Structure 1
Amino acid sequence: MDQENLNIEKEVVKVLKTIYDPEIPVNIYDLGLIYEIEARENGKVRIVMTLTSPNCPVAESLPEEVHEKVQALEGVEDVELHLTFDPPWSKDMLSEEAMLELGLL
């Protein structure tokens, strides 16, 4: 992977850390909702993400927010966003930072 794609992926992570699940006071990246980020040639970014549950109250708005904020990044021409529930999200996917924030450590 070239340096430009690595930089785009780093910027995507930064912007994802500004998006919060409204039910849990932790950003979606540290919650473990992002399964994959791949910056491809020509400014295309592929993201595979999940929600805490299929019945999540922000099932429509959260992926839209992710798409809009990543699309707005410099160097990003297109965002391919895939929502999946396989594997289903669990608390095991929380980052150490998230576990500290939630008092689980």
Structure 2
Amino acid sequence: MTADLAPDMAAALSEVIDPELGLSVVDIGLIYGAETTAQGGLRIVMTTTTRGCPATGLLVEAVRERALASGLAASVEVELTYDPPWTPDRMRV
């Protein structure tokens, strides 16, 4: 998966702010990709800046809720991965 998101997806997820860095999960490069499932739902793959990040649960739930609230899909699954590990060169800012 790539970090190239559809504009509406990027706009919706840009509203999710990482509490540590104060930047959006899209700008930080935490969103690895998104795809529509065979059932018409949405699968988002994301990471955090480090394993064991205390904000992991908050970020995953915020991404899921924001995607649902934006009407992008009726169901949203967020998959957390650390492969590949996040590095600062993923940042867009």
Fold agreement, TM-score > 0.5: yes
* 1:35-77 deviation digits (Å, cap 9, x = unpaired): 0111346541111000011121111111011111111222511
Specify whether residues 18 and 77 from structure 1 end up closer, same or farther in structure 2 by C-alpha distance, changes over 3 A only. Answer: same
Structure 1, unpaired ranges of 5+: 1-8, 99-105
Runs of 4+ in 1 over 2 A off after TM superposition: 39-43
Structure 2, unpaired ranges of 5+: 1-5
The corresponding residue for 1:76 is 73
**The structure with more helix, counted as a fraction of residues:** 1
The yes-or-no answer on 1:61 pairing with 2:79 is no
The corresponding residue for 1:14 is 11
Identity %: 38
Larger Rg: 1
The amino acid of 1:90's aligned partner reads T
In the aligned structure 2, how far is the partner of 1:73 from the partner of 1:43? 15
Q: TM-score, normalised by structure 1?
A: 0.75
The corresponding residue for 1:103 is none
Please state how far the C-alpha of 1:14 moved relative to its aligned partner: 0.7
Root mean square deviation of aligned Cα: 1.5
The corresponding residue for 2:42 is 45
Give the secondary structure class of the aligned counterpart of 2:65: helix
In the aligned structure 1, how far is the partner of 2:29 from the partner of 2:40? 24
Q: TM-score, normalised by structure 2?
A: 0.84
Please state how far the C-alpha of 1:10 moved relative to its aligned partner: 2.8
1:92 equivalent among 66, 79, 89: 89
- Tell me how many residue pairs correspond in the alignment: 88
Give the secondary structure class of the aligned counterpart of 1:55: coil
